[in-house]
Amino acid sequence: MFCTPDTSKQNPFASFSLRKSRTILCVLALLSLATTVASAQATFTSLHAFNSIDGVEPYYEYLVQGTDGQLYGTTYLGDGTGTVFKIATSGALSVLYTFCATAGCPDGDFPIGGLVMAPNGNFYGTTSQYGLDTVGACLPGIYGCGTIFEITPSGTFTVLHTFTGPDGFSPYANMTLGTDGNLYGTTLFGGNQSACPGGCGTVFKLTPAGKFTSLYSFQGSDGENPIGKLFQASNGNFYGTTIVGGASGTGTVFEISSAGKLTTVYNFGAGTSPGGPYAGIIQGSDGNFYGTTAGGGTTSFGTVYKLVGKKLTTLYNFCSQPGCADGNYSYAGLIQATDGNFYGTTGSGVNPGGTVFEITPSGVFTTLYTFCSQANCADGSDPYGGLLQATDGNFYGTTLQGGEQNQYGTVFKLSTGLGPFVQSVTTSGKVGAAVTILGTNLTGSTAVNFGAASASFTVNSTGSAITTTVPSGATTASITVTTPSGTLKSNATFKVIPKINSFSPSSGPVGTVVTITGVSLTQTTKVTFGGVKATSFTVNSDRQVTATVPSGAKTGKIVITTPGGTAKSPTTFTVT
């Protein structure tokens, strides 16, 4: 017995001839390696059905929460050309911008990825075509190579970069905000054209002011066609995936530094993911990496996997239930919610409208909602985009189709009982650094704390954001905000970066006790002299550490390590 879900949209990039056609069957006799349970607690709400004027087909995007508490996103089409929209959590939607506003579409067209918000409160996104009024500038039949843009919450639009081909073209994924304040992203094509027709794709960096740097051009053997969103891991490097390429030609997981040094972490094999991973990869709170594939596994309909080092473990095989009731073709990937579990979507399933699912780090799988459960798919169909857990605790996402006339797509909310929290836009900073904290119903808040350190703050007029600075004495820990309704905790640890101001004496032999002064030194875990670890040190206060010059120490910088990062002395200690 086999299940045959709708495959008409299994390859939304068929026009680009990215992948060879393949027959995919779901063998129902195969059992999943993980436990599956049914959902009895998720509450689904359809917030908005697009009507072709305000948007059509929100694609591979993740909605993003703004400082005004509203959610922002893009549609691939809309009035013929694509839009940027904002929507209240109650469902009121307005269009901020319609693409191809002038002849030749210098602003770009067909935005496939969503938006990312920078610390300045503005949003940044990409378009997959136009920007150049030239047919075939990147590939025959393709109109322009795409753009990167900035848009304010009020709709002021600026083109920051126009792709030309060698620097990449057709960016499909959401960009990622790095801890350095820059934006990082990928292009599906472009770069080195000697290895792949039209180029194998690139990784790039963009400052909020618009300075563009091409960091890496894929060669095919190290991966080809990156489409998933990048994720910055705890080591400061970014991780991503490619659809094809690599040792087996079926995709890779890669690591790349902010300077552009790329390492292939994992090559997908023919039996694991014949079509490669469409989605990016994320680092869980346990330090391991988690992701999804849109094909492969024991059913050929995709998997959820965990990557520890270079060892991959399949946590779940999609389409393991009769009729693919658990869904298949996960294009968007995962997010980790405040309960520690992972949440994602599948593009199709039993109806075949797709699903929203939950999976624990150990692989216990739950189908939370099945789309096309309403007449004419009024609730939406084909959720190709990922989920956002907003600060009210609920999940928000989009569907590619369904809704009005069963064709234009929707915005939806899914409540699973998770409570509200706060989220800092930036996740690290030194004492004195400006921080914006997002939340819900923050008006009347009486305290903001970074660890045990209290910070002065201001709540904005909508009660959905707080502006503050990292206070003296702050430690790497959760941020807490005391509101009239109770204390809210941040969904991620805020890392306080240490700083060394000076040390004394400036030189000495092994055994010399050196007094190091600086800021945010309370959580010091290691001190090194010229790269050699001190076996003895004492944390005297947040501003002072004393350390003994160890045997084998070399002349060089003193470095202190804390959970928030590392600090290097401004001058050299001389070992005599």
Q: Which residues pair with 226 in a beta bridge?
A: none
- pLDDT on residue 70: 98
- pLDDT on residue 33: 30
Other CB atoms within 10 Å distance of the CB of residue 343 = 24
* 9 exposure class (CB count in 10 Å sphere: 0-12, 13-18, 19+): middle
Residue that the structure tokens 């067209």 belong to: 109
Separation between Cα atoms, residue 533 and residue 538, nearest integer Å: 14
Identify the three-state secondary structure at position 67: coil
The amino acid sitting at 287 is G
Three-state secondary structure of 459-494: ECCCCCEEEEECCCCCCCECEEEEECCEEEEECCCE
Which structure tokens are listed for 319? 């389409």
Which structure tokens are listed for 487? 């204390």
Bond prior to 505 in cis (omega within 30° of 0): yes
In total, the chain counts a number of residues equal to: 576
Separation between Cα atoms, residue 386 and residue 343, nearest integer Å: 9
Digits of tens for pLDDT over the chain (576 positions)?
A: 223 333 333 333 333 333 322 222 222 222 223 333 444 579 999 999 999 889 999 998 899 999 999 999 999 998 768 999 999 999 999 999 999 988 889 999 999 999 999 999 999 999 999 987 667 778 777 789 999 999 999 999 999 999 999 999 999 999 999 999 999 999 999 998 888 888 999 999 999 999 999 999 999 999 999 999 999 999 999 999 999 999 999 999 999 999 999 999 999 986 555 457 999 999 999 999 999 999 888 888 999 999 999 999 999 999 999 989 999 999 999 999 999 999 999 998 776 799 999 999 999 999 999 999 998 899 999 999 999 999 999 999 999 999 977 689 999 999 999 999 999 999 999 999 999 999 999 999 999 999 999 999 999 999 999 999 999 999 999 999 999 999 999 999 999 999 999 999 999 999 999 999 999 999 999 999 999 999 999 999 999 999 999 999 999 999 999 999 999 999 999 999
Please report the DSSP string for 535-561 in residue order: S-EEEEETTEEEEEPPTT--SEEEEEE
Residue that the structure tokens 């305000």 belong to: 54
Which structure tokens are listed for 27? 């063998």
Separation between Cα atoms, residue 230 and residue 253, nearest integer Å: 11
Angle at 343 between CA 121 and CA 314, to 5 degrees: 130
